[in-house]
Amino acid sequence: MSHRAKKRFGQNFLHDASVIQRIVDVIDPHADDHMVEIGPGQAALTIPLLRVVSEMDAIEVDRDLIPIVERTCSPVGKVNLTNADALKFDFSTLRHDERPLRLVGNLPYNISTPILFHVLESRAAIKDMHFMLQKEVVDRMAAGPGSKTYGRLSVMLQAYCDVTHLFDIGPGAFDPPPKVDSSIVRLVPKPDDQIVITHHAAFAQIVKQCFEQRRKTLRNNLKGILDGDAIEALGINPSARAETLSVEDFQTLAEAAGITE
């Protein structure tokens, strides 16, 4: 049974065996891991993972792919498939024992950022995540303060996870080939005692507000929330731009803003 990639689901199927093996190597699966794949596609990554773990979960939005994955994987191991939209699925419901979840997936590039924010909501149940994304997005995820690519996505992810850009993949490894380069990224949720955020909704609002207009200063972007004197009293330059601030600086602003949750 053949399957034509569907644009509405942002499907680009990985087929390069050497790239697949390299991804498996960096994931480093172990027999007792609880693996969860977002969008198994045609099971290119599912099969080598199954050879190690023998059973895993998978979330697939395209119902036409489910029988293909089931048929392809059945000689190798058991895949517990759920036909669902990853943006609406509660990943924490998959954890049934002491084993944390290990998420993997070739995420649809057109909705990758919303998926990243969504899986963060289940971070307490997750050990780590290995995702394939558009290289430009991974560059933004891993960027540090002062970089032109450092922005809201960088701050929000790095506040809750250690983010590592692992390696890049060219378009030729996919069918159909995307028009952009791709990258593999690792996200490891931080333990609670390493997360500096105390008011999560306020932090998210401040970060969004600060990056609303990147070229404007903090004084201008936070007008009506914190004035220049209040920002300066926190030890932060009100004439600075958001891209120069650390995660801790944004937390300091959020605490001072007095935004109710």
Q: Which domains does the chain have, with CATH numbers?
A: 7-194 (3.40.50.150), 200-257 (1.10.8.100)
Instruction: Give me the chain's average pLDDT, please.
Output: 91
Contact at 8 Å (CB) between 140 and 150?
yes
In angstroms, the CA 55 to CA 36 distance is 10
In angstroms, the CA 17 to CA 27 distance is 15
For residue 260, what pLDDT is reported? 56
Report the side by side order of strands in the sheet with 126-134.
78-83, 55-60, 34-38, 101-106, 126-134, 182-189, 161-169
For residue 225, what pLDDT is reported? 92
For residue 257, what pLDDT is reported? 86
Cα-Cα-Cα-Cα dihedral of 108, 86, 142, 221, to 10°?
100
Of 245, 76, 15, whose CA–CA distance to 144 is shortest?
245
Contact at 8 Å (CB) between 161 and 187?
yes
The low-confidence residues of the chain, meaning pLDDT below 50, are 1-3, 5-11
Quote the pTM value: 0.91
